[in-house]
Structure 1
Amino acid sequence: MTSPSWRQLGAAPHRLMFFLGAFQAAGVMLWWLGDLLGRYTQAYAAPSWTIPAAWAHAFLMIYGFFPFFIFGFLMTTFPNWLNGRPVTRWSYLPASILMAGGMLLFYAGLVIDKLLLLVGVLLFLAGWGIGLLALLAILRQSQHPDKQHSRVTIAGLFMGWLGACAYGLWLFTGAIQFLNFSRIAGIWFFLLPIFLTVSHRMIPFFSSRVLTAYVIYRPDWILPAMLACATGHGLLELLGLDAWRGFFDLPFLALAAWLSYRWDLLRSFQVRLLAVLHIAFFWLAIALAFYSFQDVALLFDHAGDFTLGFAPLHALGIGFFAAMMLAMASRVTLGHSGRPLAADALTWTLFLGLQAAAVLRILPDIGLSIAPGLIYPLAASVWLFSIVSWIWKYGLIYWQPRVDGKSG
């Protein structure tokens, strides 16, 4: 086998983007675990950062690593979806380098000076902008009759860019409304539309390739309906009308659960690499069930005694977003390296580890943990172990040529 090389790492957009994203997924949790251990144990004094740790955590978890995986995936699939030209190195290499450099400055800014945080966000935005323009060029040049999924993901990336911009404006001005917009837009206008759209496009397709007599269920109306629910939830949250989000979350829950049923969640367990996608998608219904309970509780209990804390958010963020990210990245990595499309025991185990991290983080907020101060670091540790195991399993693949001798 040819020895690993930098040339191979930059041979295709998913290689470099996934590689950087995986290390970021580990890095953001390593930083957060260090903060949690200082706050909830007697190991050492809680670290002092240049901004509140919770708001640094919010930015890193929403914008710190997901965009790398999203760009890596979309830069690989857009040419296929739209019959367009491949993304050139002159687009994905600068985008990758600027985004990674921005994240490194962000970490430095947490320790040294707040100004470095702002510079890091600006560099990150520059790289994001280059990647977004590259995808937009493919979309505009394409004559493909079906652009629904591509348009939604482009819109989601633009909203994510605006959300990261808002975070930079908060760093510069201190105005809390920018911080709130960054957090809400990042979840409901950026990550959720993109993960929902990719799931809608790819899960039925992948299922049809491996399950016998499988009928693809992908009605034209269901994706716009779910996107409208996500947008409505986000807008109500921006307006501070959380108690009324149920008017969007309840139908959203029904649609998500219906799709899991129609996409044949139970039969997906015949093939582990397919099951991980279906399991991750089912977490959307779980998260929306938590949100719906929270909405109804807020509507009738203004004191907020039964709001489930951050359980809905972590069911969505870890259970759906992170698990789907890992599942999709695993499949793309195997398929685009010429390897068999099969999840071995390690891949399955580390995916289950991420499910365990989601459950552990949710337990204290639903009243099923007697020691949340220990559960929080434990959940972070399980996440970190799962991601590091994934890097150990898949990281070296990005440095090596395809095993089938093809380019890419």
Structure 2
Amino acid sequence: MLNLATKTWNQYSAAPHRLMFLPGMIQLLLIMIHWGIELTGRYTTLWSPLTLNVPGFALHPFLMLYGVFPFFMFGFLMTTYPRWMNTTEIPRSRYVPAWAGLTVGMGLFYLGLFTQPIWVTLGLVLFLAGWAWALAALWAVYRGAPAADRYYETWLNAALVMGWLGAAAWLGWRLGAPTVWYAFSLKAGFWLFLIPMLVIVAHRMIPFFSSCVLRPYTPVQPRWSIPLMAVAVTGHVVLSLTGHWQWRFIADFALAFLALHHAWHWGFRRALAHRLLAVLHIAWAWFAVGMLLHGVQSLILMTTGHGWFAHAPQHVLALGFITTMTLGMATRVTLGHSGRALQVNGFTWACFLSLSGATLTRVAADAPWLPGGYTGPLNLTTALIWLTFITPWVLYYGPMLWRPRADGRPG
């Protein structure tokens, strides 16, 4: 038994994406199970909403912003950074402690929700320490790599730092800092961390993956894209925190233009014939839709004084863009680095399409013409779709992370 456990651990820890992806997958389920229980308590008489040591209004956004995606992002970047910059792989001595800090930290965080609040604090401290350790591992690759062009890595490092600051601000608010720390945490996590991370990775990888499948194909990766994105997301955050929501359309339509321009030049329609590639292009299309909705929402606020669509634009980005893009990249990495063909079966394709379905139901819940009585059922439907399709996705791809490669190669 001990030998089996040791063998399984050695296989599971053989690469950073193996270690990091699995807790990210588990988080995908835990967070939505919690949210489904919470929504059922709000909108039905089956039970009351959960009473935890972190209020629901703060818990759900924190877990969605910081509890899931850092695992996937660090797993992806710790695997790809050395390849992008032509250097040696990150050793276990660097990525295992990072995984331990992030994973044990989240475990203590969950323990503190149901027991003593001190465990929430200690868990977050350990989680931030794991994040910092992972950043240091990536920075060591960045500093020591022979590659002269580190354009994408420079921007990615900045986004990861902003994510750490956002999570730290949430902890500061938790310990008694002013409410603006909480507001900054939400905006930084979404607009300065997740959106930039996915835009940069997509800018780097979608044209590359498309060129491997679509022929003829000319990769389009203009250098103005990422600086424009950085200015726009910063503008969105500043306008939000200063209360000038009605002016956010300036930044939001700039991002919508970027998204539509790239979707056209990256070959959205041609990519739909290839499922694994189509997932990334569909996710990018949701980015365009989300930014258009944000811009229209801001214009309506300016012209009428009323805000339409509530949280719909944000959920288009969170479910349609961020989650779909993340799981698309994770699926590709898991298949490729487990020695399997880069092809998705009908089951996996249905799982990805379900995310678009969940996006549509969540948007419908905030439609201004919808009677209020439909909001709760549609929100519950969104959570149910997530759990119905993401659970089997996790059960299918999760075991690949601790099993030997299908082609017999190490790693």
Q: Flag whether TM exceeds 0.5 (same fold).
A: yes
Q: Given the alignment of the two structures, is residue 142 of structure 1 paired with residue 145 of structure 2, yes or no?
A: yes
- The aligned residue for residue 164 of structure 2 is 161
- The aligned residue for residue 363 of structure 1 is 364
Question: How far is the alpha carbon of 1:367 from its aligned partner?
Answer: 3.4
Percent of aligned pairs with the same amino acid:
41
- The aligned residue for residue 350 of structure 2 is 349
Question: How far is the alpha carbon of 1:316 from its aligned partner?
Answer: 0.7
Aligned 1:101-120 pairs, distance under 5 A: 101-120=104-123
Question: How far is the alpha carbon of 1:355 from its aligned partner?
Answer: 1.2
Q: Deviations over 1:180-237 (max 9, x none)?
A: 0100000111111110000000000000001110110111112211222122112221
Among candidates 36, 45, 48, match of residue 48 of structure 2:
45
- The aligned residue for residue 76 of structure 2 is 73
Question: How far is the alpha carbon of 1:369 from its aligned partner?
Answer: 4.6
Taking the aligned partners of 2:239 and 2:150, their CA distance within structure 1 comes to 29
- The aligned residue for residue 244 of structure 1 is 247
Taking the aligned partners of 2:337 and 2:20, their CA distance within structure 1 comes to 14
Contact 2:308/2:368, CA 8 A, preserved across alignment: no
Counterpart code for 2:352: F
SS in 2 for 1:366: coil
Taking the aligned partners of 2:409 and 2:375, their CA distance within structure 1 comes to 50
Moved more, 138-147 or 317-326: 138-147
Counterpart code for 1:28: I
Taking the aligned partners of 2:243 and 2:147, their CA distance within structure 1 comes to 41
TM-score, normalised to structure 2's length? Answer: 0.96
Among candidates 59, 83, 87, match of residue 86 of structure 2:
83
Question: How far is the alpha carbon of 1:368 from its aligned partner?
Answer: 5.9
Provide runs of 4+ in structure 1 moved above 3 Å: 367-370
Taking the aligned partners of 1:271 and 1:359, their CA distance within structure 2 comes to 23
- The aligned residue for residue 60 of structure 1 is 63
Counterpart code for 1:163: G
Moved more, 178-187 or 225-234: 225-234
Q: Tell me how large the CA RMSD over aligned residues is.
A: 1.3
- The aligned residue for residue 199 of structure 2 is 196
Aligned 1:9-20 pairs, distance under 5 A: 9-20=12-23
Number of positions where the alignment pairs a residue of Structure 1 with one of Structure 2: 404
Counterpart code for 2:150: K
Q: Given the alignment of the two structures, is residue 285 of structure 1 paired with residue 288 of structure 2, yes or no?
A: yes
- The aligned residue for residue 233 of structure 2 is 230
TM-score, normalised to structure 1's length? Answer: 0.96
Q: Given the alignment of the two structures, is residue 185 of structure 1 paired with residue 188 of structure 2, yes or no?
A: yes
Taking the aligned partners of 1:31 and 1:174, their CA distance within structure 2 comes to 27
SS in 1 for 2:175: helix
Question: How far is the alpha carbon of 1:307 from its aligned partner?
Answer: 2.5
Moved more, 108-117 or 118-127: 108-117
Among candidates 358, 376, 383, match of residue 373 of structure 1:
376
Contact 2:365/2:376, CA 8 A, preserved across alignment: no
Among candidates 280, 299, 303, match of residue 302 of structure 2:
299
- The aligned residue for residue 339 of structure 2 is 338
SS in 2 for 1:86: coil
SS in 2 for 1:16: helix
- The aligned residue for residue 389 of structure 2 is 386
Counterpart code for 2:259: A
Taking the aligned partners of 2:409 and 2:369, their CA distance within structure 1 comes to 51
Question: How far is the alpha carbon of 1:174 from its aligned partner?
Answer: 4.8
Q: Deviations over 1:325-376 (max 9, x none)?
A: 1100000111111100101111100001111111111111123655111111
- The aligned residue for residue 131 of structure 1 is 134
